[in-house]
Amino acid sequence: MGSLFRTIERKPRVERVLAGSTYRAVAIVTITIIAVALSYGAISAVSGFAWWQTLLLAMFALGGAAEFTFVGVIAAGGAPILAVLAGLLVNSRNFAFGVAVGPFFPQDWRALIASHWINDESTAISRTGHNDRAKWHAFLLMGAAIAIMWPGGAMVGQWLGNVINADLLGLDAAFPIILFCLIRGDLKNTVTLSLTAIGILIAVGLTPLLPLGLGAVTSLSVFVFVAAGWAVRSFIRRRSGDNGAELHGVDQRSADQGDAELPGAEQRSDDRTQSATRGEGHR
């Protein structure tokens, strides 16, 4: 009978590292990535790329905009070296993404491997984490999904060939909208919102004038102005600090001199008093 009244011990509830909304966001972005990968594979096939070339480019470049740029330059008859340089220039935006994810990256060999997964989507998804551990796990989840689904989708697209029409999918509008929804929480900061608006205006204004993929890269020029502003502010603060230290030093030296002169002045005053007293005694 005692067993009937035995208290059932409940196991402590394990706290989830990632919220359910993060998993849903990863799923939605992954579906879009698969669709873009199908388009990339189809375009590569039409441009004359072999399946293994499409696969290697998808695995090692792992950047949709750079790969589309590379394939586009080759398809237009451009030299391979120009295609490589154009792809590298488009992927140079990953420098800014690396700066964004660096604070929560582990300081060991894992950072070297995970750096290959740094891109628009993984950086945006990582922002949904409430702490560094959650951000790291969200980044890995999105990065792993891209590393698997992007080459896989490219292979399927390569086999389908001309069946897929990328223009009909409307992916050029879907991706920016998804990324905007992922970072909308950061836009509550006035400075971040202002810089984002300036970057959007730069990208929209220059996209019609520049080769494919370079319009978005030019939006990163806003960081040049930010860096210049920080440099000027640091210089002003440093100069103000130096001037304050000099003034403090002058005041300290004046105080020290005053303290040093005080005992002598008191001594001279005492000597005059004693002399006057002795003079009165003689009289």
pLDDT at position 264: 52
pLDDT of residue 282 exceeding 60 = no
The span from the CA of 268 to the CA of 265, in Å, is 5
pLDDT, tens digit, for every residue of 206-238?
878 876 666 666 776 776 777 677 777 777 887
- The DSSP secondary-structure symbol of 131 reads S
Taking the CB of residue 92, how many other CB atoms lie within 10 A of it?
Answer: 13
Q: What amino acid is encoded at 119 in this protein? A: N
Q: What is the mean pLDDT of residues 162-173?
A: 61
Please enumerate in sequence order all residues whose Cβ is within 8 A of that of 25, keeping only pairs 6 or more positions apart, or say none.
125, 128, 182
The span from the CA of 198 to the CA of 213, in Å, is 18
Q: What is the mean pLDDT of residues 169-185?
A: 63
pLDDT at position 258: 54
pLDDT of residue 148 exceeding 60 = yes
pLDDT of residue 252 exceeding 80 = no
Please enumerate in sequence order all residues whose Cβ is within 8 A of that of 141, keeping only pairs 6 or more positions apart, or say none.
18, 22, 23, 26, 125
Residue with more model confidence, 9 or 201? 201
Q: Which of 65-79, 203-217, 244-258 has the lowest mean pLDDT?
A: 244-258
Taking the CB of residue 112, how many other CB atoms lie within 10 A of it?
Answer: 9
- The DSSP secondary-structure symbol of 213 reads T
Residue the block writes with tokens 């669709």: 35
pLDDT of residue 54 exceeding 90 = yes
Residue with more model confidence, 9 or 194? 194
